[in-house]
Amino acid sequence: MDLNKRILEPSLMEDDEFLEYYEYNRHIGLDKQDGVAKAVAKLCKNFNSGKVLDIGCGIANVPIYLAQQFESSFIVGIDASEKAIEFGKGLVKEHYMNDRIVLSKAHLPYENFWHKKKDFNLVFSRSALHHFANPLDFWYTVKDNLKEDGSVFVLDLIRPETSERAARLVYDRFKGEVNKPIARAFYNSLCAAHRAKEVKEHLEIVSLLPMKILVNSEIHIIIYR
C-alpha cells in the first residue's frame, strides 16, 4: 500500500510496549544516545551553553548525554507520558544531575509547561515530531520557546514509500520479531512520519526558515540550525 499520506498512531504507549521501550533505551540504545549528543555539537555550532528544551524527552537518557556534552547547560525535558517522566527522574537522580535537568509532564499542545516563552538557547527533539497529529503544533512549540538566535536540532523518522517497505524495515531492525510491542510501535511510527518536502512546507508556514534539512539515512531526517 502506498504511504502517500500519514497514518496517525496511538498517542501514548500501552504498559507492555512502554516496558519494552524502557529496556531498549536503557540498555541497547545508550551508545546511540551519546551519538545524538555529539551530532548536536557537530551541527549546531552556535550552541555550546545555556538553556535547552527537549520536546519528547522520554526516559531522559538523551538529556543526560546532552548535559554531559554541554557542561554549562540547563535542560528542561517534557513528555506526554507520565511513566516516562517518572523513569526519567530516576535516571537523572542516578547520574547526580537533579540540579541541571528538570523533567515535566506536558501533553502538547493541550498542556503548557512552566517556562516563559523565547527562553531557550537550543530546542531539541528526538523521535517526537511524528507523534503529533498536527505537526504545526510541534513547530509552533519550537518557535515560541526558541530565542531569536537560538539553535534547533530535531531528529525524526522518514515515512517510507509503501507499507511493505515499512514492514521490511521493521523486520530487519528487530531480526524478524515483528510481533513484539516495540516492533509494532516502530512500524506505526514509520507510517506516521513526515517526508523532507512536507517538513519544509511546515517550516515555511510557521516562519522557521532558514533551516537545514538533512536526510541522514533511509529512515532518519535531521532538521537543524
Over the stretch 102-118, which tens digit does the pLDDT of each residue have?
Answer: 999 998 877 766 666 78
Asked whether residue 65 is assigned to any structural domain, the reply reads: yes
- Residue 39 · residue 212 · CB < 8 Å: no
Range of the domain at 155: 15-224
Calpha distance 100→96 (Å, rounded): 9
Task: Tell me the whole-structure pTM to 2 decimals.
Answer: 0.91
In a domain, 49, yes or no: yes
Q: Count structural domains, the chain.
A: 1
10 falls within a domain: no
Q: Does 4 reside within a domain?
A: no
Paired strand residues for 123: 53, 152
| CATH number for the domain harbouring residue 182 | 3.40.50.150
For 122-173, the pLDDT digits (tens) are 999 999 999 999 999 999 999 999 999 999 999 999 999 999 999 999 999 8
Residue at 1 is within a domain = no
The verdict on residue 2 lying in a domain is no
